[in-house]
Chains A and B, each alone.
Chain A
Amino acid sequence: MTGSNDMALLDVRDLKKYFPVRGGFFQRVVAQVRAVDGVSFSLNKGRTYGLVGESGCGKSTLGRAILRLHEPTGGQVLLNGNDILALRRSELSEQRRRMQIIFQDPFASLSPRRTVAQIIREPLDVHRIGAPAERERRVIELLADVGMGTEVRDRYPHEFSGGQRQRIGIARALALNPDFIVADEPVSALDVSVQSQVLNLIAELKIKRGIAFLFISHDLAVIQHVSDEIGVMYLGRIVEQASAQDLYDDPQHPYTQALMSAIPVPDPTTKRSRIVLEGDVPSPMNPPPGCPFHTRCAQVMKKCRTAAPETVNVGRADNLHLVACHLYG
């Protein structure tokens, strides 16, 4: 069980997303890719849940499944107590106002043929919020919120650098006053000196507006900087979840430990013993039996090869620190 909180803004329970793999003469379903395989976590107002993992672990699919941009295969997503997955399309549109997404690539996620003002206005137009003059005023406010001036409103995305495009994407996501934003690798395409500007903007929005973020990234240093809680994902499952502090001070799962030790540290005076993992991540189409990590784990035991580990709480006092590993079972 996770830290499901009665007051949680977002409560994700045992969420699954399988993609069918078709093949053969009749295009029958020959296999399933278990991109997200039973994920649970909850998120309160004004908090950031960081989701970290390597490519193909299912972190982006999880973000999209929560918003029903991918239709989940099973599980529940409760936003303010409403089950998003039970909603009909018409009802979903109403709830979508509360949930927004910021994408990784600011070059692909903004229409090249619309002006900045049109891009930011679009959600207001779609949901018919306010009179046209009011929408215009709102655009100016939103630009100011993301640190841009009014003079950019009639310009086109190609005139901007990556960091500024990402600000435009954030302004668009803010247009409907959402409670919850999925930020999918929002700074991965940006240069270091611009990355920190965008990270600070996201932190400010969280505090000033009480927006809850699901922050998805492959970069553990970025995740550690922005998150309150962190979930480490491997082959469709969350293998460890804890507060940012606990995860940093005391990582428990062998995969988390390897991931942390693999990050190059920008300080030549630290010399660490690195846990170098053998081999590659197995295919999610054909995941290994038992613990999904056992093929690369240095501490593998006999039962890891056959039985999937239960998630247990190893946190001290009230701290929730969840690990799915037989070492702690």
Chain B
Amino acid sequence: MTEPLLKVSDLVIEFSTEAGVVRAADEISFDVHANETVGLVGESGCGKTVTGLSILGLIPSPPGRIVSGSIQFMGRELVGLPETEMRRIRGHNISMIFQEPMTALNPVFTIGNQMIDVLMRHRKLTRRQARDAAIEMLAKVGLPVPARRVDEYPHQLSGGMRQRVMIAMALSCDPQLLIADEPTTALDVTTQAQVLEQIAKLQDEFHMAVVLITHDLGVVAETCRRAIVMYCGRIVENAAIDNLFANPRHPYAQGLLESIPRIRSDRLDELPIIPGRVPDLLHLPAGCRFADRCPHADAICGEQIPLLVPGGIGEDFVACHHPRPARSAEPVT
């Protein structure tokens, strides 16, 4: 395997709150290779967004801070990098798109003005060249009549169009890595299908890697090559997409996959559930954070935090004292 594009190792992020210090991300380690799509999956508060923000150096500080660990991008350490250098990487090498495009776009500038600034700064273009590049980029993301839209304000566009503008802005400087935080969650399903298709197409064209942060396992199944499942600030499983869905090793990943309603003809009377609820990050259990909801938990689970270790198939990892058995039906190639 070649050197990964992004290498996150033992990353720990904490936030100070009135009620105490919260560890939002705990010992996070994963790799992203060039041109691959990796899903970062989990429920609200699991630390997926914080992890994504940390890669761009966007953790609000205070109250947040990276306590330890490293984030290496193309061999370069990003943790502790001065803001001026981080700014050069942002947009130029790593871009981010957010869930709600209306809050990420500036309402008092036209689409064109917002894009032109970025293009002039990063690609050293003149204003006229930058405007042409902006129109070209808007056309690439499938925005209808880009030459007119470029002079419109964000409120004149629909949610799907705004998200396309966000993508156009994020990709306008040809980044190697795109962090997409719930990019389609605020959109209707038919619009979501359009936007996801567009991201996949552009990814091929620009040869970029994508970290897709989402709670939607359907979106992950259709777009990602690997998925990282997080629970309560820790990675519980990191597996190739086919392995994760066919043979989830961690009981949480298994429960999550079983509990989603699916469109099927043999409808179930009752959905399988994960009992209980996510523990409060301020009062975490001593051992495995999933132990009190887990049907397989025993004494050791209450005492020791399970570490993320290679889990049988290929490059898969699982953090569980009693992982579900790996089925070796399919030979690994």
Chain A positions within 8 Å of B, measured between CB atoms, are: 54-55, 161, 163-164, 191-197, 199-200, 203, 218-222, 224-226, 244-245, 248-249, 258-269, 274, 276-277, 279-281
Contacts and interface: CB of A to CB of B under 8 A. Distances in A.
B192 interface: yes
A259 B189 contact: yes
B144 interface: yes
Interface string B292-325: 0000000000000000000000000000000000
Contacts of A164: 277
Contacts of B221: 264-268
B102 interface: no
B305 to A, nearest CB: 20
Interface in B10-36: none
A163 B277 contact: yes
B139 to A, nearest CB: 15
Contacts of B219: 264
B251 to A, nearest CB: 12
22 contacts: A191-B43, A192-B43, A193-B277, A196-B259, A196-B260, A196-B273, A200-B270, A219-B261, A222-B261, A225-B261, A225-B262, A225-B268, A226-B261, A245-B265, A262-B190, A264-B196, A265-B222, A266-B262, A268-B222, A277-B193, A277-B194, A281-B188
Contacts of A218: 188-189
B259 A260 contact: no
Interface residues of B, number: 48
Given A200-B270, A268-B221, A193 B193 contact: no
A220 B218 CA distance: 13
Contacts of A191: 43-44, 215, 278
Contacts of A261: 193
Contact of B263 (A196, A197, A224): A224
Given A163-B277, A225-B271, A266-B257, A192 B194 contact: no
Interface stretch (B62-70, B89-97, B111-119, B239-247): B239-247
Contacts, number: 132
Contacts of B281: none
A269 B246 contact: yes
A199 B262 CA distance: 13
Given A224-B264, A264-B193, A268-B242, 20 more contacts: A164-B277, A191-B44, A192-B217, A192-B259, A193-B255, A193-B274, A193-B277, A196-B259, A200-B270, A218-B189, A220-B263, A222-B261, A224-B263, A263-B189, A264-B196, A264-B216, A264-B218, A265-B221, A268-B245, A277-B190
B333 to A, nearest CB: 16
B222 A276 contact: no
A144 B44 CA distance: 27
B202 interface: no
Contacts of A220: 189, 263
A136 to B, nearest CB: 27
B18 to A, nearest CB: 14
B262 A265 contact: yes
A224 B267 CA distance: 8
A220 B255 CA distance: 21
A221 B259 CA distance: 12
A269 B242 contact: yes
Contacts of A281: 188
A263 B263 contact: yes
Contacts of B77: none
B16 to A, nearest CB: 21
A260 B273 contact: no
A280 B216 contact: no
B99 interface: no
B270 A54 contact: no
Contacts of A258: 190
Contacts of A225: 261-262, 267-268, 271
